[in-house]
Amino acid sequence: MNLKPIKPFEPILSETIPEDDDWISQIKWDGVRVLTYYDGEKTTLYNRKLNERTNIFPELLKIEDYADCQSVILDGEVIALDHNGKPSFHEVMKRDAVKRPEKVKELMEAVPISYMIFDIIFHNGEWIHQYPLQERMELLNSIIHPNEYVQLVPTYTDGKSLFEIVKQYDLEGIVCKDMNSNYHINGKNGNWKKIKNYKDLIAIICGVTYRSGIVNAMLLGLYNDDHQLTYIGDVGTGKLTKDEWKYFTEIINPLKSDTMPFVNLGKNINHVQWLRPILTVKIQYMEWTAGLSLRQPSIQAFVDYDPQDCKLNQ
């Protein structure tokens, strides 16, 4: 059996929490979306962009330790906690961004992860994505046995109360799901809604400024509808450590450019080193200003993301 990776079902952004009896709510974990594929012989892991993560999270490869099945595709979120015990995108990216296999074992101890499973798409040779969520969840609860690394995402019927708890603990948000809905592979619709406690996006690093030879701020951009790079602000605060700023300063050397890439900035801008629009970063922010720039942006982590998908209407 050859289980090819699929693009997972995505929720749409919403400002309202459904109150119908057919809806449930779950915490939206600030982690990395990972689907687990077990074909009866081997287990592989892929993220939402279809990039393989099998060797990055070896804790999840012994499927028999947590799932009773002959074959399966599971959907969930890999998370890591910060020193306050909260899910941290910055922490989990220390694992997800590993390039050298020899570093994985070291980071398994330094940055432990949990796999928060919330759906099942394929089971014992049968595609079940057309089953109602209610049935998929019942099956999921019957075959998954939580352990040190694997948990089932708790489900709640009172979305408004859950969102108040999320705000109290400053978590990312909630996802509300229609229990009658199927799993829309490679798509999104209103059957899953995400309600965020704070706003974030993936932006392109298009330029930098320096202080004492070290980068101290990034100029961010997104593509508009005409595929032109639009300046959305600069950011110099967030979760990057001094060592990460130093490392970033070194790795951007091959990306330096003399060309200002933005369509909405003047030509004469001093003290900026422009970069080829390749690197991407996750940014948390308060809101958009009237001039289409970010208010109070904060760096969360570097991410492996296609710059072509970084758009103003993302």
Task: Give residue for tokens 């422009």.
Answer: 274
pLDDT at 102: 84
Active site residue 99: no
pLDDT at 299: 96
pLDDT at 291: 82
Mean pLDDT by 10 residues, the chain (314 residues): 91 93 95 96 95 95 96 98 89 89 89 97 97 98 96 96 94 96 95 93 96 96 94 94 95 95 80 96 90 91 93 80
pLDDT at 314: 62
pLDDT at 144: 98
Catalytic residue from among 28, 177, 193, 282: 28
Angle between helices 101-110 and 89-96 (to 10 degrees): 150
Strands (E) located in 212-247: 214-223, 229-235
Domains and CATH numbers, the chain: 10-196 (3.30.470.30), 199-309 (2.40.50.140)
CA-CA-CA-CA torsion for 44, 185, 305, 303, nearest 10 degrees?
Answer: -60
Tokens of residue 206, six digits = 């298009």
Tokens of residue 12, six digits = 């749409």
pLDDT at 267: 63
Residue 236 CB neighbour total at 10 angstroms: 16
Amino acid found at 106: E
